[in-house]
């Protein structure tokens, strides 16, 4: 027997994670990632210092990071929401474990989610302590979206949404859908690398870059993953050619992603194995068009903060759409398979 509370908790956690992904992007894009130079508090406090004596003490302790209340509050808001999500995921895991003998209850993924949340917290700490190191920032983004995907999958399977009585539709569809998910994951990683290296405006025009289809770029410099400890990456450390290289690869990745996900969406719309998949294909196509539009608008508008943050949200919606497609392809899995997955 399914537990409605487990489903509701998972659904709420999924929505909260989606909001957290957008909030994290907003914090990063508004240059507030180091608004609090320590972790998990802010200048040694659990809230942003406001009293004159506390501000003076904070400025003395961190002379290179003077208190800027607006940035610090953005960072702390992100930490508060992330902490709430962590407690919610823990509650989901506890409930899943207590009901582990109930037919159809998912156990493995809720427990795995706790491990992921702990690692994601460490990445959040390292983001601050390692001064916005691009590899860590990119990993933090991937961890957040992985959390979102897992929560969405658990929610869909626990509610058996839109699949009651449906048999799995795998075959070639399985490899196409899983391959599309892999392509999207790589493109999201490229987007995180572009953002964390401040390369979003390395090409200020579209579809060309500095008026050329293939301008001078330094790919060796642009894709050095590890540069040591102690470097402050706020604002980026690459020269223009290194940033151009990153931006160009992100654009090429976008073309590949559009081709793969667009083909999958059209195949689902025009040759669906089930009527519900036709609707899922339409949703996937709409999310893809929205994301491409936001990407172009980000460049053409020279990185407007609301649009750039929405671009991160668009990636999350695209991921959710693809998870939904895979869920529908899986159909109503046998109870013993549901229990393990």
Q: So which residues are the catalytic ones?
A: 75
What angle, rounded to 10 degrees, do the helices at 134-159 and 305-330 form? Answer: 40
Q: Name the residue among 282, 210, 277 with its Cα closest to residue 240.
A: 210
Residue bearing tokens 């929205």: 290
Cβ atoms of 164 and 332 within 8 Å: the answer is yes
DSSP secondary-structure letter at 32?
Answer: -
Q: What is the DSSP string of 144-209?
A: HHHHHHHHHHHHHHHHTTTTTTPPP--THHHHHHHHHHHHHHHHHHHHHHHHHTT-TTSS-SSSSB
Q: Name the residue among 15, 11, 324 with its Cα closest to residue 155.
A: 11
Cβ atoms of 156 and 320 within 8 Å: the answer is no
CB within 8 A of 156, min separation 6: which ones? 323, 324, 327
Cβ atoms of 42 and 48 within 8 Å: the answer is yes
Q: What phi, psi does 179 have (nearest 5°)?
A: -65, -40
Angle, vertex CA 116, rays to CA 112 and CA 119, nearest 5: 140
DSSP secondary-structure letter at 274?
Answer: S
Q: Name the residue among 193, 241, 230 with its Cα closest to residue 28.
A: 193
Cα-to-chain-centroid distance, residue 119: 15
Cα-to-chain-centroid distance, residue 17: 9
């Amino acid at each position: 027997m399914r537990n409605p509370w487990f489903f509701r908790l998972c659904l709420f956690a999924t929505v909260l994670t989606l909001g957290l992904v957008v909030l994290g992007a907003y914090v990063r894009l508004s240059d507030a990632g180091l608004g609090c130079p320590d972790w998990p508090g802010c200048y040694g406090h659990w809230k942003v210092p406001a009293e004159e004596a506390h501000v003076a003490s904070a400025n003395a302790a961190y002379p290179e990071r003077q208190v800027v209340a607006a940035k610090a509050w953005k960072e702390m808001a992100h930490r508060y929401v992330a902490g709430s999500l962590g407690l919610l995921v823990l509650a989901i895991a506890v409930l899943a474990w207590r009901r582990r003998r109930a037919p159809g209850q998912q156990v493995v993924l809720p427990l795995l989610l706790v491990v992921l949340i702990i690692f994601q917290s460490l990445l959040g700490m390292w983001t601050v302590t390692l001064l916005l190191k691009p590899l860590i920032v990119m990993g933090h983004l991937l961890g957040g979206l992985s959390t979102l995907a897992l929560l969405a999958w658990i929610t869909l399977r626990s509610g058996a949404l839109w699949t009651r009585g449906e048999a799995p539709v795998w075959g070639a569809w399985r490899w196409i859908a899983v391959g599309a998910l892999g392509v999207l994951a790589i493109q999201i990683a490229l987007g995180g690398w572009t953002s964390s290296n401040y390369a979003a405006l390395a090409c200020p025009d579209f579809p060309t870059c500095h008026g050329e289809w293939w301008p001078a770029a330094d790919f060796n410099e642009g894709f050095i993953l590890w540069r040591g400890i102690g470097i402050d990456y706020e604002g980026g450390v690459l020269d223009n050619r290194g940033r151009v290289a990153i931006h160009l690869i992100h654009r090429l990745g976008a073309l590949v992603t559009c081709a793969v996900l667009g083909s999958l969406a059209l195949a689902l719309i025009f040759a669906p194995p089930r009527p519900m998949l036709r609707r899922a294909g339409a949703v996937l196509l709409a999310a893809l068009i929205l994301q491409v539009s936001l990407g172009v608008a980000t460049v053409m508008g020279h990185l407007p903060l609301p649009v750039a943050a929405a671009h991160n949200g668009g990636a999350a919606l695209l991921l959710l759409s693809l998870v939904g497609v895979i869920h529908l392809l899986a159909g109503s899995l046998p109870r013993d398979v549901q229990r393990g997955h």
